[in-house]
Structures are given as structure tokens and as C-alpha cells.
Structure 1
Amino acid sequence: MVLDLVVIGLGIAVFPLSVTAFVLVLSAPGGTWKGLAFILSWLACFVAVLAIVLVATGGKPPAPKSPPSTASSAVKLAIGVGLVVYGWHRHKARKRTGHRHRSSVGMMARLDRISVWTAAALAPMLQPWGLVAAGAATVVGADLSHTSSYVALFAYCVLATSSLLAMELYATFAPDSARARLGKLRTWLQTHTDQALVVVALAAGLFLVGRSIYQLTS
């Protein structure tokens, strides 16, 4: 479970659309407050998903090869296949058109003018729900009778939010330096979002496919 959560958490942390959106939120006037609202809303939604799964399982992992265990692996397999297909399709579409999707450009261009409340409302919408669902399917195997499971879940939440937390802290305690560096990051992301999406989707998808097949056949 731990390896799966580490890889999924990293994928969520570096997911290009949410990172780009957060950089734009931080770049807006009053960006640190908007960024804080974004992070709190993001974490609240993230933790709520995990809590629902843990309540459903009672904090006890299903027996190996049982229907719930098989269903969990099958869900991750389906998500992995979906991510691979999405990444490949995005790669082919970019090669065909030679530019980013206009819808993404338009959406991102408006994020630096939103309010604190809108930033909070947008955070759950901008989470990579495929990866969040894969994480939820993995958490089915958490055993809350062991302290190590609590540590793993806490570390997973922190890891998945680490990129946002790092940028928020940087912008809060070193605003001048952060403004320049986040501006460069914003420029890079706005011109490389598609490439980054392809890499993250394919890497995470292939990992989930491989792990799920192993779990289903071993």
C-alpha cells in the first residue's frame, strides 16, 4: 500500500493543471490568502474522500482475493488504463495541432482574477480525480489497528499537497523572491502544460496498470 500511495501522491502533487492553477492564484492580488483558501479546501475534500473509504471499510483491510480486494485492484487497473489512453490521446492531439488546448488556455487565463471564495470552490474541481480515486482504492487496504497506517495516510495527504504547500510558504515568507520565481514557473507551465500532462498521465497510468495486474494475478 505504501509504495502505491507514494507514487499516487507524487502524481497528484505534480499534476500540471492544478499546479498551474495554483501558481495563477498565488500571482493574483492577495494571492497568499487565496492560496491558503485553495489549500484548505483542497485538503478538506481530499481528507473527506479518505474518511468515506475508511468508514466504509471500518478501518480493516479486506482479505486477499476477496471481492472487495479484487474490486479495489480492478478499479485501479481501470483508472490506469484510462490515464494511459488519456496521455496517449493528448500526445497525439498535440502533435496534430502543435499547440495547447484552447479551453485550458482560456480557463487558466481567468484564474488570476478570482476571489478568495472562488479559489476555495475551485480547489476540489481542479484535483486530479482519477489519481484521487486510485488513492482511495488503495486506502481500502489500510489497517487502522496499526499506527503505521495512520503515519502512511498522513504522509500521503502531505505528499499529495506538498507542491501547493511549498509554493504557499515560499510566497508567504519570501514574497519578492517568490514573485520572480513563480512568474518564471508560470511562464514555463503555460507553454509546457500538455507535455507535462502526457508524462504524468502515462507514468502514473503505467504504474497503476502494472501494480494492479500484479495484485490481481499474484
Structure 2
Amino acid sequence: MVLDLLVIGTAITLGPLHNSAFILLLSSRRGVRQGLAFLLSWLANLIAVIAVVVLLTGGQPPARHSAPSTAAVAAKLAIGLALVLYGGYRHRRPPRPHGPPRWTARIDNASAVTAAGLAWVLQPWGLVGAGAATALDADLSTLTDWLALTGYCLLATLSLIVMETYAVWAPEAANARLNALMSWLERHQEQLVVTLSVLVGLWLSARSIYELVA
């Protein structure tokens, strides 16, 4: 479980779409406040999903090869295959110009509530679902699994935490470097989406098949 959560959390935090949007928020007139609203909403979403799983299981993992356990593994397999297919589709489709989303023109006037809502919209729900299916195996009677779930939520938010902290403590340097990072993300968005989708999809598929047949 720990290794799967590490892979999923890393893929979430490296996603180019929400990181680009977060940099745009930080560069706006009330950037630090909007960025904090986005970050807290993002983290709250991850925690809420894990909390629902824990409530459903009572903090005790289902027996191996039981119906709930098999359903969770099958869900991870389906997500993994979907990610591989999506990565292949994005790789094969003709290149398209990536203009800024229309909402960026109104970003300076956006409220903290809007920034918080944007975090939920940009959440990579497929990966979040894979994390939830993995968390089904958590045994909350052990400190190790508590730490694993906490670490997963923090890891999936790590890029936002780093950028927000940078913007608070060194705003001028952060503005220049984060804008350069956003430009790089825009130029390499397709490659990043394809690479993350295929690699994580293959990982989830292979792990799920092994769990089903072992």
C-alpha cells in the first residue's frame, strides 16, 4: 500500500495542469491569498476522500480476495488501463495550440471561494480514485498506516506547498522563477501528461493484476 500511495501521490503533485493554474493564481493581485485558498481546498479534497474510505472500512482492511477487496483492486486496474489508453490517445492526436484558458482573463478579480472551487475542478480524479482504492487496505490500528495516509495527502500537495511558501518568503524571486516554470510547463504539457498517464497506468495495471492472481 505504501509504495502505491507514493507513486500515486508523486504523479498527482507533478501534474502540469493544476500547477500551471496555481502559478497563475499566485501571480494575480491577491495571489498569496488565492493560492492559499486553492491549496487548502486541494488538501481538504484529498483528506475528505480518504476519510470516506476510512468510514466505510472502519479503519480495518477487508479480507484478501473478499468482495470489497477484489472490487477495489478491479477499480485500480480499470483506472490504470484508462490512464494508459488516455496517454496513448494524447500521444497520437495531432498537436494543438495551447492558449490560456478563458478564466485566466478574470483571475485578478477572482475570490478566494472561486480559487478554492478551481482546486476541486482541476483535481485529477482518476488518480485520486486510485489513491482511495489503495487506502482501502489501510489498517488504522497501526501508526505506519496513519503515517502513510498522511504522507500521501501531503505528497500530493507538495508542489503547491513549496510554491506557496516561496511566494510568501521571496515574492519577487518567486514571481520570476514561477513564471519561467509556467512557461516550461506550457511547452511540455503534452509530454508530461502522456508520460505520467502511461507510467502510472502501467504501474497500477501491473500491481492490480498481480494482486488479483496472487
Deviation at 1:24, TM superposition (A): 1.1
**CA 1:204–1:57 in structure 2 vs 1: closer, same or farther (change >3 Å)?**
same
CA distance in 2, matches of 1:108, 1:209: 35
- 2:181 aligned residue: 185
Deviation at 1:151, TM superposition (A): 0.7
* 1:207 counterpart = 2:207: no
In the TM superposition, structure 1's runs of 4+ consecutive aligned residues that sit over 4 Å from their partners are: none
Could you report, residue by residue, the CA deviation over 1:95-115 in whole angstroms, capped at 9, with x for unpaired residues?
A: x2x23456xx42574474333
CA distance in 1, matches of 2:55, 2:144: 18
Deviation at 1:88, TM superposition (A): 0.7
* Long gaps (5+) in structure 1: none
* Identity, % of aligned positions: 51
Question: Secondary structure of the residue that 2:123 maps to in structure 1?
Answer: coil
- 1:121 aligned residue: 117
- 2:79 aligned residue: 79
8 Å CA contact retained: 1:144, 1:150: yes
8 Å CA contact retained: 1:24, 1:111: no
* Long gaps (5+) in structure 2: none
**CA 1:110–1:211 in structure 2 vs 1: closer, same or farther (change >3 Å)?**
farther
Deviation at 1:43, TM superposition (A): 1.2
8 Å CA contact retained: 2:139, 2:145: yes
Question: Secondary structure of the residue that 2:172 maps to in structure 1?
Answer: helix
Q: How many residues align?
A: 213
TM-score (norm 2): 0.95
8 Å CA contact retained: 2:98, 2:186: no
Question: Secondary structure of the residue that 1:64 maps to in structure 2?
Answer: coil
8 Å CA contact retained: 2:70, 2:212: yes
* 1:149 counterpart = 2:149: no
**CA 1:142–1:101 in structure 2 vs 1: closer, same or farther (change >3 Å)?**
same
CA distance in 1, matches of 2:103, 2:81: 27
